[in-house]
Amino acid sequence: MSDYINGRLSRRHFLAATAGASLIAVHPFSARAAAGQAHLRIMETTDLHVHVFPYDYYADKPRDTVGLARSASHIKSIRDEATNSMLVDNGDFLQGNPMGDYIAYERGMKDGDMHPGITAMNAVGFDASTLGNHEFNYGLDFLMKSLAGADFPVVSANVVKEMGGTPTADQTLLKPYVILDRMVTDGAGEAHAIKVGLIGFVPPQIMNWDRKHLEGNVQARDILETARAYVPEMKEAGADIIIALS
Ligand SMILES: [Zn+2]
């Protein structure tokens, strides 16, 4: 590929150059990008498990090692120091502590209700998330009502409502992937448009772990088979970088 298109650095080369630059001795996130070069800092949370506040509901006392509320301050400081950043989540956000069980079994989710874990994620501001295996623990109806309140896309490529002949012909439960248009600012202060593809995968073992909720409703595809089918489609659709959430 030629390095320049119409006198400008091509997107792919531009991102490859950025990746290479992260190998230099200076800490990659503090290194100042050159003109025509941009650093994109990608933050990821995982296994939030309904830990919104730094509180241990089992012990009924504050615990300062958990909670998105605490992570939020780290996320803010990273956003402040990084010229370009994104925040993604890896799934397992709806289940895992007594508040999760309370919402699922006591309060319930009616149409239009907000799940507190989703409310917290909206407040922090995520670019995208995917489903973890625990998202299926309370059934599909609860899951879909919870996701309805999310301000960010939740992608999952291998949970399928209707199998097609190939993964890309499947009717998936959620969007298999998204391609987000983002702007990144280079070291000279010039903004460049990039397309960031995000795709999600869940362990196919959900079909055993949550058989009572899933059997007859959805099926799960092998992760590699699914990735091999979708990634070329995402590149074809213009994704400059592809992030797999799993
Ligand atoms: Zn987990």
Q: How far is the CA of 49 from the centre of ligand 1 (A)?
A: 7
Residue 83 and residue 184: Cα distance in Å, rounded?
A: 8
Distance 164 CA to ligand 1 centre (A): 30
**Distance, CA 92 to ligand 1 centroid (Å)?**
5
CB 1 within 8 A of CB 10: yes
Centre of ligand 1 from the C-alpha of residue 48, in Å: 7
Q: How far is the CA of 245 from the centre of ligand 1 (A)?
A: 13
CA R_g for the chain: 20
Q: Which domains does the chain have, with CATH numbers?
A: 4-245 (3.60.21.10)
Residue 37 to residue 239: CA distance in whole angstroms: 18
CA of 39 relative to ligand 1 center, distance in Å: 30
Q: How far apart are alpha carbons 128 and 118 in whole angstroms?
A: 12
What are the pLDDT digits (tens) for 45-81? 999 999 999 999 999 999 998 999 999 999 999 999 9
CA of 50 to the centre of ligand 1 (A): 10
pLDDT given at position 29:
53
Q: What is the pLDDT of residue 190?
A: 95
Low-confidence ranges of the chain (pLDDT < 70): 1-31
Instruction: Give the pTM.
Output: 0.87
pLDDT at 32: 81
Of 56, 46, 53, nearest to 120 (Cα)? 53
Model pLDDT, residue 28: 54
Q: Are 54 and 97 in contact (CB under 8 A)?
A: no
DSSP state, residue 201:
-
> What per-residue confidence (pLDDT) applies to 124?
98
Cα 189 to middle of ligand 1, angstroms: 39
- Determine the Cα–Cα distance for residues 200 and 202; give it in Å rounded to an integer: 7
Q: How much is the pLDDT for 31? A: 64
